[in-house]
Amino acid sequence: MTKRVAILISGGGSNMVALAQSMHGDHPARPVLVMSNDPQAGGLAKARAMNIPTLAIDHKPYGKDRAAFEAALQKALETAKPEIICLAGFMRILTPEFTAKWEGRMLNIHPSLLPKYKGLHTHARALEAGDSEHGCSVHEVTAALDDGPILGQARIAVHAGDTPETLATRLLPLEHALYVAVLRRFAAGDRTPINLDG
């Protein structure tokens, strides 16, 4: 039986597109929902173009009431019945109560070589630190932000003259390759970490 996958996005959704396009043929999973906290997220139209059901649950009307926003997310997920959730550029921090419900079944892509640079502005921070290499990580989501077991990493060299923008651009195709490789393995029940070099 193929595994049902929900993909949560906040923006353009290039990781979501890569994941969705990879799930065909003998792949052990299929996308059943693309959901966003931003009704204007560009990725929603891309998902619709791939005939994947989409849903937008705007977090703004909920203000600081994270539990109420997450209850709406959870209700939609209970309808779609995914076995795996992929956070793909989903920029809302989830509460421990929510992550506990999906622990062991929820993945995230983060644009740094975790445990370095949890949180935001990872490219700028790697440059400020004078790092010679940078990268991205796919990890299981737990209560602590960007902290769960790492399932894969991909590395790139930092070049003289790099900016956060040039790093982000050079890293994004590797994010796609890494997330696709990790999801295929994870959906088959294999948590052996994957390492890619750019």
Q: Which residues are catalytic?
A: 110
Q: How far is the CB of 1 from ligand GRF (least distance, A)?
A: 28
Tokens 């560009």 -> residue: 42
Dihedral (C-alpha) 172, 174, 180, 185: value to the nearest 10 degrees? Answer: -140
Distance of alpha carbon 33 from alpha carbon 77, whole angstroms: 8
Min. distance of Cβ 12 from ligand GRF in angstroms? 4
**From 15, 37, 99, 137, residue interacting with ligand GRF (rule: CB under 6 A):** 15
In the structure encoding, which two tokens stand for residue 54, read together? 């989409």
CB of 36 to ligand GRF, least distance (A): 10
Exposure string for 66-98, b = 16+ CB within 10 A, e = fewer: beebbebbeeebeebebebbbbbbbebebeeeb
Residues in region 131-160 near ligand GRF by CB under 6 A = 136
User: Quick one: 67 or 144, whose CB is closer to ligand GRF?
Assistant: 144
Which residue of the chain is nearest ligand GRF when measured via CB? 89
Q: Is 109 in the site for ligand GRF (CB under 6 A)?
A: yes
The smaller minimum CB distance to ligand GRF, of residues 11 and 193, is found at: 11
Q: Which of 5, 13, 137, 146 binds ligand GRF (CB under 6 A)?
A: 13
DSSP 108: E
104 interacts with ligand GRF by CB under 6 A: no
Neighbours of 37 (CB within 10 A): 20
Sole binder of ligand GRF in the list 33, 35, 57, 88 (CB under 6 A): 88
Please choose, out of 6-14, 49-57, 94-102, 149-157, the segment that lies near ligand GRF by the rule CB under 6 A: 6-14
Which tokens belong to 90? 């989903």
Which three-class secondary structure state does DSSP give residue 86? strand
- DSSP percent split of the chain into helix, strand, coil, nearest 5: 35, 25, 40
Calculate ∠ Cα 40-42-44, nearest 5°.
85
* 94 counts as binding ligand GRF under rule CB under 6 A: no
Nearer to ligand GRF, 14 or 37 (CB): 14
Nearer to ligand GRF, 9 or 32 (CB): 9
Contacts to ligand GRF by CB under 6 A: 9, 11-16, 43, 88-89, 109-111, 136, 172, 175
